[in-house]
Amino acid sequence: MILIGTANTAPGIVDGMAALRRGGSAMDAVEITLRAVESDPLEDSVGYGGLPNLLGEVELDASIMDGTSLRAGAVAALKGYLHPISVARKVMEMLPHVLLVGSGAARFAAEIGAEAGDLLTDSAAAKYRERLSAASLTESLAGDDGSVSLSDALWRVLGYRSHGTSNAIAIDREGHICCGVTTSGWAFKYPGRVGDSPIIGAGGYADDRYGACACTGLGEASMRLCTAYSVVAGLAGGRQLDDCVESAMRELARLSSPVPIGMNILALDRLGQHTYWSTHTADRHYLYMRPDDSEPQRGLAKGLADDAGH
């Protein structure tokens, strides 16, 4: 058994491992871990406290995938509900669909009795106002008075963080694997923007036979390359874990993009070997726990060899 997560899973990874120790499923462990991150107001790239879109509204994306059945559930541009990872799981369990978006996702969340709430914290609202002010914009954007188009406004607010996500991957005592991803997405994004997090194969992918992978970073890049699936497909081809992730990172580095491509890839194979690669290795780590661990262990990010010293 093992549970791994991005650094921001610290609020929930201990409880997630406790669930595995009790005999809970990999999916239970992933959901428990990520719900804690979604509840953390200090984590401004996920859930409650997430930074809003250009209109000051928090839109959440999440996905979860069962590596045993290859079934998955996801939600995108969900407003007004605190735990998109749980709504995503219910999409998988209750519907013949994989992905619900916008008002449809919110309707389904209401039908299942998901916990509703105001996602915008005072801190996130203040950062929103500060960013608009720095770009010589005002909150009149929300009034849609035509003084500036949202597409023009988007280019003026670029330069803040374009990504931020929480990933968790678990293997339970039966050897089943689950991967989960949750995010509030690109800070101050165009309303309705959806990144890789709820896109199966781009932001996350799991297959008991081979392993699992999840991404954080510029989702527009991993969507173009189906990065999470590419790593698992490499494992299916008999390649070593780090070799698969390194290849994915090199493919990402080849892309052209109007904004810098920052990417982090968290992955493990079916034997529980795990790794984390980042375009920002100097300040990146991840967390992992095995049943005998009383607290999370830190693993350091790896990067492309030709990036060393740059």
DSSP three-state, residue 234: helix
Is-catalytic flag, 165? yes
Residue 13 has pLDDT above 70, yes or no: yes
Is residue 200 over pLDDT 70? yes
Any idea which residue has 């791994």 for tokens? 4
pLDDT of 163: 65
pLDDT beyond 70 at 48: yes
Residue 309 has pLDDT above 80, yes or no: no
Give Cβ neighbours of residue 231 (< 8 Å, ≥ 6 apart).
Answer: 205, 211, 213, 244, 245, 248, 265, 267
pLDDT at 14 exceeding the cut of 70: yes
Question: By percentage, how much of the chain surpasses pLDDT 90?
Answer: 87
Q: Are 81 and 87 in contact (CB under 8 A)?
A: yes
Rounded mean pLDDT, 159-179: 89
Work out the average pLDDT over 145-157.
82
Q: How confident is the model at residue 148, as a pLDDT?
A: 78
- Is the pLDDT at 131 greater than 50? The verdict is yes
- 235-258 pLDDT, tens digit per residue, is 999 999 999 999 999 999 999 999
The active-site residue, picked from 165, 182, 227, 275, is: 165
Percentage of the chain beyond pLDDT 70 is 94
Q: What is the DSSP letter of 204?
A: E
| pTM higher than 0.85 | yes
How far, CA to CA in Å, does 190 sit from each of 58, 59, 86, 89, 225? 11, 10, 25, 26, 22
CA-nearest of 113, 53, 69, 29 to 61 is 53
- Residue 77 is predicted with a pLDDT of 98
> Beta partners for 61?
183
Stretch 53-81: mean pLDDT, rounded? 97
Per-residue confidence at 306, pLDDT binned at 50, 70, 90?
Answer: very low
The architecture in CATH of the region 2-307 reads: 4-Layer Sandwich (3.60)
Comparing 63 with 159, the larger pLDDT belongs to 63
pLDDT at residue 308, as a whole number? 38
- pLDDT reading at 143 higher than 70: no
